[in-house]
Every structure is written in C-alpha cells, then in structure tokens.
Structure 1
Amino acid sequence: MDAHLQAKIQHWLSLDGDAPSRKAIEALIESGNSAELASRFSGRLTFGTAGIRGVVGAGPMAMNPLVIQQTSKGVADYLKAQIKDSPMRGVVIGYDGRHDSKRFAHDAASVLTAAGIKVYLTARVAPTPLVAFGVLHLGAAAGIVVTASHNPPQYNGYKVYWSNGAQIIPPHDSGIAACIEAAAQQKVEMLTHEAAKAENRLVMLGDEFYSAYRDSIRQAELLQNHTAPQKVSLAYTAMHGVGAEMAETLLKDAGFTQVYSVAAQREPDGSFPTVNFPNPEEAGAMDLVMLEAHKHNAMLACANDPDADRFAVAVRKPGATADMAAVDAYQMLTGDQVGVLFGHYLLSHAGKDQRLTCCTIVSSSLLSKIASSMKGVCETTLTGFKWLTNVGMQKQTPQNRFLFAYEEALGYTLGSMVWDKDGLSALLGFAQLTAELTEKGQSVWDRLEAIYRQYGFYLNQQVSIALSGRENRPSIGQLLRERPPKEIGGRNIVSVDDISTGLRTFADGRTETLDLPASDVLIYRLQGDARVIVRPSGTEPKVKCYYEVVQPFSDGMSWEEAQNRANEAMAQLIEQHQASLPQ
C-alpha cells in the first residue's frame, strides 16, 4: 500500500466515529486488500444537483454516517454563507424507509443544529414530496431528504432543496461540494437531539405536519374535480415504500371508495422482498398491483415508487376478461402517455390565467402541440425535475401561472403546491381524470385515442448504445459535430439543436438561439415530425439516444394499425440511426 493511500485511510479513521464502518476498513487493512481500499478511497461521492447517492458501505466512496455528517456540514456552511437568516429559518429534514435512512437523517440534524441552524425533522418516515412541501410551508431556508428513491436495496441517497422548494441547480451544487471538501478535512461537530431540543434548535414534525400536506391537497385548485369518484376502482401499491398511508388517505378524502392496496407491499421495508428492483418502470415491478387490480376487476393498477415522488399506472385493456392473466389484462402507460393525458385534462379545466406547462427535451413533443392548440405554453427544459420546476417558477407570471410539468421517467407535478415531482397528488389527479371520463361513459383509452387521432400517434423510445474501440479517439458528440449527418433513417434533417453551443441550425443555414443551459446534447428534427436526440457520454464508449416518431391516425384506421405502423417506423429509424453512428 502506497504512503498516499495509507495517509488518506488514517485520516478517515481518525474522523470516523461509526464502529461498523471503522471495522470494515480495518478488516480490509488486515487482509491486505489494497485494491479494494484503493477503490474505496479513490475520491468521494460527488455532490451534484441531485445531491449524493451510492451503495451503503465504508469509506468516502460510499454512503455511511461520516459521509452524511461531512455532507451536512458542507450544506450548513454553504447555507449560512448564502442565506443570512438561514439559522433562524431552518432546514426541513425527512427520510424514507430504507435501513439506514433514519440514522442518516438524525445525523444530519445533529450536524446542522451543532452549526447553529434550526432543524425541522420528521418524526417518522415521510414521502419525498412532503419535504419539498415543507420547505415552503415552514418558510425554511432549505430541505434535505434521505432517500435512494427507486434504486436497489443496497443504495441510499441525500437530496437537497433550496429555499424556493425546488431541487438545487447550479451554482449551488458546486458551492455545496466545495464546502463539503473543506468540511471533510476536520472533525465534524454534532449536537445531541436532547441538547438541540433544549436550545430550541430541533423541532419534531409530527401529525400536524402530515395533516398540513393533506389539507393543502384537499384545497389544491387543480384537485377539485369531484365528479363521480365512487365509480372508479383502483388497486394501489407503495412498493414497500412510504406512500401508502397518505395515498389511501387522500383518495378517501376525495370520495374514492373502491381502493385496494397490495398488502404485501404496503409497509416500508428497505429489503424490498417482493420486487427485484423497486422501480415501477422495471419488468415485473407492477405484477402484484396488476394482480390485485385483476382480482377486483379494477379500472386502474397504480403505484408510487418507494419515496412516493413518482407515479405509475396500468389501465385495464378493452375486452379484458376474468380468465386472462393479470399482466395480459392491464397495459402500463408510458410516462409520456400519462403526461399527455394530464396536460390535456388540466388545460381543459384551468382558467385563462394558468396555461404554463413544462416538459424536458427528451419527453414527447406532443405536450407542446396540445398546449399550443389549447392557448397554452409549453416550456422545454433540460432533463431532470430540478430544471422543470425552476424554469416553471422563472417563466410564470400573474397572467400565466404555472399549471403542470412532467418528465417521461414517471415524474409529474400538478400546480405549485409542491415544486418537485409528487406521486401522491398525481395519483389523486389521475383518479379524478378517470372518474370524469367514466361519468361520460368513456375510458382512459378512449381519451388517449382521441388525442392521438387529433395530433398523431406519438411513439417514443430510448436506447443506450455501447460503442467499441473508442479509446483515445474523439467522442461521439465531437465526431457528429465535425461530420454532421445530412439525413437520418432516410429522413431529411429539418433542424439541429446543439445544446452545448445554445444554437439551433436549420437546413437552409438559418440559426436561432436556444434558451437552455449548456449541455452535451444534440437534437435532430426530421421530416415527418420524427426526432432523434443524442446524449454522448464524453470519452465513454456509450451514447444515449431518444427517438420519436409520429404516425398519422386517420378516422378509418384502428388503434392497432396506427400502433403497428408507428412501431415499424420506430424500428427502422433506430436500426438505421445506430448503423450511421461513427464507429
């Protein structure tokens, strides 16, 4: 073991007060496992706009008490430098049901209170949207939620909200990261919860806080459609997370009486025993809730992810029968389909002073078409809900208030009660949308088909491509910029957005400036309203591609025919585009 690595390890051990973590490192030293030690001390978990997230374990490259303490000290120092009254305004801290989350949240509270900052700590597990809500509700300077969302059981994470109730964006991420680096050089002071309470620096958020979120949902202007809730039947799963109690309460408050929870997945369990990967998008994750829905012949099978900031739904297929398997009787809607349904529904009901919607560059462009035709506005942002909500705040005016935002990865926010994705209000909003359709004798499929017939059958797909033999060669992005394609998949290119330069270039040479932060992304708009988005990974031999095709959906065409044609066009576009990428 070289001297530099040895010094880093000894410095870490001199600061780490957690016995299991120390023992894990000492065991590696005793066994002479230098390779593993070098890996664990190769740096530290990078703090970015999504905070930190990683596997729970010992050392600075994993999630553990010392990493949490150092991160919290960095957050405290940055807050005090940026927001002068932050010690008095305080920080809201909540946590999910993962095995280490409560310990990590309590450690964060001890560090912040020792730094002189008041802390509002949830007395029990809390859905992530409640923390975002709490920042504005309590007028706090920031919020922290300990969660790894829908990642596998071995992960945990630490997310930060700014005083506006939204996830942090630059420059706060780099500013906090610099403060964390400084904090990691010395012992972090901590205050016991008893001492913090005695000094009025620690307030425990109990039932009253949870009720405040519940009451705000009951009063939310976009959730006042109480058309025939008793006619809707739905199954629900919290996916071993923290959403069940609040989700069931909100549905009951709104008059939904046919709600069937998946008992095996209702209570928080950080081991996630009934799912391989607690993400509703993953194959098999929705099986139990579809089975529960099928048992009751329910219209919907709904899910929140484990921290309840995402919402997923499968809808009973037309013609489904009791003797069918549950997975055949229900069809999962894509995030784009749910986003489009929400956008159309909300724009149909909102007043003329609330027409601002947002979606990301990789989400379906259909919401923009709908908003434009319904006298609304759709702002397009970089990927990530932090951009959707921060841009939504910046762009709204008293004459055009924020209405709705979504990203294709099952994230939605309805109105401005929570400036982050909120799977709980989305669950209620979708149930109300379904109830209104049911009262009219229509289904979710009927509404989606009507939208597609009016605007075209939109199909979106993401593909990650591994490219071999790229060592010491220019990145894919660089090559595409040096030798730009003239056409893709037999379709002429209408325009190219280069987000790294903030410029849109049309086929005739005209250019427009883009109102987006710089990012290594290329967007190709093609003939026939098709689109290809390429997100190169720098020097890594990988590239993420997002494809969109639009199939005309005439009156004489069936859903199956339109879908088959769209699938064929998508397969052709993907195959030809992948073959054309620089090798």
Structure 2
Amino acid sequence: MSEVLKRYEAWIKEASLPDYLKMELQSIVGNYKEIEDRFYQKIQFGTGGMRGLLGAGTNRINIYTIRLVAEGLALHIQNHGEIAMQKGVVIAYDTRHFSEQFALEIAKTIGKYGIRVYLFEESRPTPELSFAVRQLGAFAGVVVTASHNPAEYNGFKVYGEDGGQLPPAASDQIVRFMDSIENIFSIDIQDENTMIKNGFLHYILKEIDDAYQECLLTLSEIELHSIKETLSIIYTPLHGSGLMPVTTGLKRFGFHNVTVVPEQADSDPDFPTVSYPNPEERQAFELAIQLGHKKEAELLLATDPDADRLGVAVRKDDGNYELLTGNQLGALLLNYILLQKNLKNEIPGNGIVLKTIVTSELGRAIAEKFGVHTQDTLTGFKFISEKIEEYNSSGQFKFLFGYEESYGYLIGEFSRDKDAVQAALVTSEMAAYYKSIGISLFDALTNLYNEFGYYKESLKSITLEGKDGQDSIGQIMSGLRNHPPDSIGGIRIIALEDYKKRTRHEIHGESIPISLPEADVLKFFLEDDSWVCIRPSGTEPKCKLYFGVRKGSAEEAEAALRMLEKDLMERIVL
C-alpha cells in the first residue's frame, strides 16, 4: 500500500475524527486522485504561514493541521525560555468558516504549555493583530485567515514580536518541531476554563480597539472639516472584519457622509455577494458601484476579509468609476504623503520608501523628486517589515511609506503588515485634499502620469493545482532559468536577476551579487526600461508573471504591455 493510502486509512479509522470530516473521507473512497491530493504531503508551512482548502487530510486546513502548527509554534516559544512564554501569543481571526473555532484550538494547544495567550473576542483585521502584538509586548501573534481567497479556504499566519510576519529562521524552527511529531492525532489541548482560571487565557477587544484607533488618528495630515463632512464615500467590508475599524476610523477622521454597502456588511463566511472576496477585482465592487451611482459618491472603498488589502474606485468627470490598481493607489498615497510632509518641512534627510521588486517604478520617481531614497524588497510584506525594524535599529533610514502592487500599503509603523484600515482613512483624506483644490483623485493620477511618464503594469497568473501543478510550475521556472530568452516582445533583454542564485547578470557583462535573500524569482530588464518578473506564488497554486513598462502616452504603454504579455505567455508551454 502506498504512503498516500496508508495516511488515508489512518485518518478514516481515527476515532476522534469529527463526523463531518469522516463523511468527507468516506465520500472519496476509490478516488485515488482526490485521496492523493489530500494526503501526498503535509500542508506547507513557510514564512507566510500556511493557507489552503478546508477539509480532511494532511494537505488540508482542519483542526488537526491547525493544532500541528500551533504545537510547533508553542515548542518554538518554549525553546526561547520563560520570558518568551510570559510575553505570550496574541490570536486574532477573520470571518471565514471555522476561523473562530480554529483560533480557540490554537489557544488551547499553546496554553497547555503554560504560555500566556491573548485571544480576541471578535473577528479583527490582520493589521490590528500586528498592532496588538506590539501593544501588548507579546512574543508572537497568530491570525486565522486566508486573506482574499475563496470561501473554501482558510489559513494560519504567524507574527514575531516586532509585529511583522515571522522571518525564515523562526519559520524553519517551527517546521522542524512540526516534523518531529509523528502522530498528528496525539497533540493534546488544554481546557478553556482551566486556562482562564490559571491565568493563561485572556480575552481582549476594547482596549486594543481604542489604542489602535488613537494611533490611526496620528496619520491625519490635514483638517478640512467642511470638505471631509460632505465627501461622499461608499465602503464595503466584503463580509469581512474591516467593518468596525474602518467605519470608526472614518468617523474619527471627520468623514460623516459614509454609506456601507448593506448586503456586504454581515460577517458571512460564504461571501454570498461575490465570486471571491478580492478587492483587486471589479466584480467585488459591483454592489458598491451601484450604490455609488445612487449616492453620487466620489470614492468607493473595499477591504478583503482580514482587512489588510484595500481596493479603491474613484469617480471620473463622466460619472463612471475607475478602479485603481495597487500600483496606482500606492503612487497617489506616496505622492500625497510626501507632498504634505514637504509643505510642513517634515521630510527627514534619511527618509526611505520601501516597495517590492514587482511594484511599479513610478514610486521611485516620485520619491526621488522629494529627495527620498527607495529600497526594493522581495515580494511579501514581511520583507518590508523586516527592513523597517532593521532601519529603526540602525538609525540609517527613517521609514515614510511602504507598499506592494497587490493592494498592500503601510503608512504608520505601529502596524508591521499591510494595513487596509490605515490606507482607507488616508485615501479618504487624500480625496478631500484634492477636492479642496478642485480636482478628483483620477485627475491627480493623470497629473502624475503627465509629470513622470505613463507607467503601466499587469499581472498574469497560471493556476496549476495539486502535485502535478506543483511540478509544472517547477518546470516553468527551471526552463526560463536554464534557457533564458534573448528578448521579450521584440525588446532586447539587457540584464537578468536570479534571486535563487542571488546574482544579477548583465548581458555581455559581469555578474553582480544581489543582497536580497534567496528566492525562486527571475526578473528580466529590457533595454526600453520595461521589465518582466516571474515567481511561484507562496500562498496559492499559481505561477505569477509581472510586467511593467513606461512610455510617453497611455496608448503606447498599453500596446507595449500587451506585446510583452503575449510573447512570454506563448513561450511557456505546459
């Protein structure tokens, strides 16, 4: 019998298995492909935690795989000694299926070791969890979420004591502890009431909400009371955890003409009004756009279920709404923040902007105008938070703004992960500022393009699920790495950065070391300042291809982008 079938048999015979999981396994008897997908591996835990389909099996999210990671985290904390155990862990969760139950399972798994646990009483956003870790001086944090994935997913994200996602060394140690556990069903849990009685479980909510909101207020750059009161805003939490912090924050910022999309205000784990709750997609904005037309709203805001990503749509002169990309909103926010600080003479000489290697170069051009340095990081906001901590310790740079193309922004470093609550409040204030000088956010974006050139970017994803898909993604990367093209879209390649080898190879020139950490990423630089980047997703069964161009007009940029996309996609033969 294969190892896959042995694992399947062990699970289906397990006496403690809940009926709903046992019935699920019984329904796939004889379906080897389905069994293999659930049992060919343990669900992967990396520097971003773990994320996957809910269900029975070692390659699914369920109470047993949740306990397994929680056990690894508990042993990691215990390994750091009594002080780390006393500092403890903060646990938050979003509105997904089983999120609240999983959060308590994590608490009970960790608590049996005598480690202090702070557990949110209600669902709260990922950035508020990051804030709470710092506010409470905890050693670690956990949020149960699958971010913007469809309803059938959930996940487990781990944070360090700086409030940032766990660095690779700590994640590797957790994995080693997880691998040392031979029987996943042998993991014990503590009784909730016993933990409370012994002082190891503390429920939290209002004190963290209040402290977080006070920090959010520090991000306000301007007053403009009359304009803020009349600016018409539509907000949707997409059935997620952003409702309370965003609406409270907007009110405290002075925005009172705010309407929440009623059909999407409820915390519904099925996300019934959207295909999936991703504010990057137009379909997530359909109800907000309909309500926006009725209210003649100037600004539409949407947050994903754990409120770390913000999507924005702005009204144009013709009354229609333009959805901003992550790169566009990031450029607008950066320009607004630096503009306001410059007016107050508050830009430090060592100011720095942090962005990822797949984020638009428009941000670099804007920062340069204000005399601010820009530093690239690998994809993933954990690398931005690591740099913030590094620069705070060294004093080399003063953090001013961080963002990534996938709709993640950080303005105030009291959180150390992308924060859609922060971004929603500052975006609203930015809209009020531009309204005060007679232009819309769309006009402001057009002005940036006129000043710096038309930067345009796109992302193509190839979804390849299961073991076969994982192998195919590996073949795509090795093929491009071992046999790189000479040109893409008819434009000659002048350099290749291979982050797995940590080298930048100049075509017909020397190879230069790359200081960023090792990663399975390739980035091609073209002679017309265009670029292409390819990487496997760290959280989804996808190979992601990023494209960026800069041209003299919107039409030229669009044509150049389509040419790059067409050429590279045709080269990838699956």
Counterpart of 2:157 (choices 149, 156, 159) is 159
Query: Which amino acid is the alignment partner of residue 266 of structure 1?
Result: A
Q: 1:79: Cα distance to partner?
A: 1.7
> What 5-or-longer segments of structure 2 have no aligned partner?
none
**In 2, Cα distance between the equivalents of 1:198 and 1:18?**
28
Q: 1:466: Cα distance to partner?
A: 8.6
Moved more, 59-68 or 269-278: 59-68
Counterpart of 1:424 (choices 418, 421, 425) is 421
Moved more, 458-467 or 188-197: 458-467
**In 1, Cα distance between the equivalents of 2:170 and 2:135?**
22
- Matching residue of 2:235: 236
- Matching residue of 1:285: 284
- Matching residue of 1:195: 194
- Matching residue of 1:323: none
**In 1, Cα distance between the equivalents of 2:295 and 2:270?**
28
Query: Which amino acid is the alignment partner of residue 389 of structure 1?
Result: S
Query: Which amino acid is the alignment partner of residue 309 of structure 1?
Result: D
Q: 1:372: Cα distance to partner?
A: 1.9
Contact 1:28–1:34 (CA under 8 A) maintained in structure 2: no
- Matching residue of 2:533: 533
Q: 1:144: Cα distance to partner?
A: 0.5
1:456 aligns with 2:453: yes
Aligned 1:74-473 pairs, distance under 5 A = 74-82=72-80, 84-185=82-183, 187-218=186-217, 220=218, 222-227=219-224, 228-320=227-319, 329-350=320-341, 351-353=346-348, 355-396=351-392, 397-398=394-395, 400-464=397-461
Paired residue secondary structure (2:278): coil
Paired residue secondary structure (2:268): coil
Moved more, 570-579 or 39-48: 570-579
**In 2, Cα distance between the equivalents of 1:504 and 1:188?**
46
Q: CA RMSD in A?
A: 2.8
Paired residue secondary structure (1:436): helix
Paired residue secondary structure (1:528): coil
Paired residue secondary structure (1:286): helix
Q: 1:106 to 1:184 in 2, by over 3 A?
A: farther
Q: 1:201: Cα distance to partner?
A: 0.4
- Matching residue of 2:521: 521
Q: 1:124 to 1:565 in 2, by over 3 A?
A: same
Query: Which amino acid is the alignment partner of residue 520 of structure 1?
Result: D
Q: 1:465 to 1:284 in 2, by over 3 A?
A: closer
**In 1, Cα distance between the equivalents of 2:417 and 2:53?**
24
Q: 1:54 to 1:370 in 2, by over 3 A?
A: same
Contact 2:221–2:340 (CA under 8 A) maintained in structure 1: no
Per-residue CA deviation, residues 401-443 of structure 1 (Å, 9 max, x unaligned), is 1111111111111121100011111100101111111111121
> What 5-or-longer segments of structure 1 have no aligned partner?
321-328, 553-561
Q: 1:472 to 1:420 in 2, by over 3 A?
A: closer
**In 1, Cα distance between the equivalents of 2:15 and 2:419?**
36
Q: 1:377: Cα distance to partner?
A: 1.4
**In 2, Cα distance between the equivalents of 1:161 and 1:472?**
31
Paired residue secondary structure (1:239): coil
Moved more, 525-534 or 471-480: 471-480
Per-residue CA deviation, residues 114-148 of structure 1 (Å, 9 max, x unaligned), is 01110000011111111111100000000011111
- Matching residue of 2:64: 66
- Matching residue of 2:550: 550
TM-score by length of 2: 0.91
Q: 1:200: Cα distance to partner?
A: 0.5
Paired residue secondary structure (2:284): coil
Paired residue secondary structure (2:374): strand
Paired residue secondary structure (2:167): coil
Q: 1:393: Cα distance to partner?
A: 2.2
Contact 1:464–1:544 (CA under 8 A) maintained in structure 2: yes
- Matching residue of 2:562: 571
**In 1, Cα distance between the equivalents of 2:561 and 2:133?**
43
Query: Which amino acid is the alignment partner of residue 530 of structure 1?
Result: S
**In 2, Cα distance between the equivalents of 1:88 and 1:413?**
29
Q: 1:371 to 1:512 in 2, by over 3 A?
A: farther
Query: Which amino acid is the alignment partner of residue 56 of structure 2?
Result: A
Query: Which amino acid is the alignment partner of residue 559 of structure 2?
Result: E
**In 1, Cα distance between the equivalents of 2:469 and 2:430?**
50
Q: 1:87 to 1:453 in 2, by over 3 A?
A: same
TM-score by length of 1: 0.89
Contact 1:28–1:36 (CA under 8 A) maintained in structure 2: no
**In 2, Cα distance between the equivalents of 1:54 and 1:466?**
14
Q: 1:535: Cα distance to partner?
A: 3.1
**In 2, Cα distance between the equivalents of 1:72 and 1:60?**
15
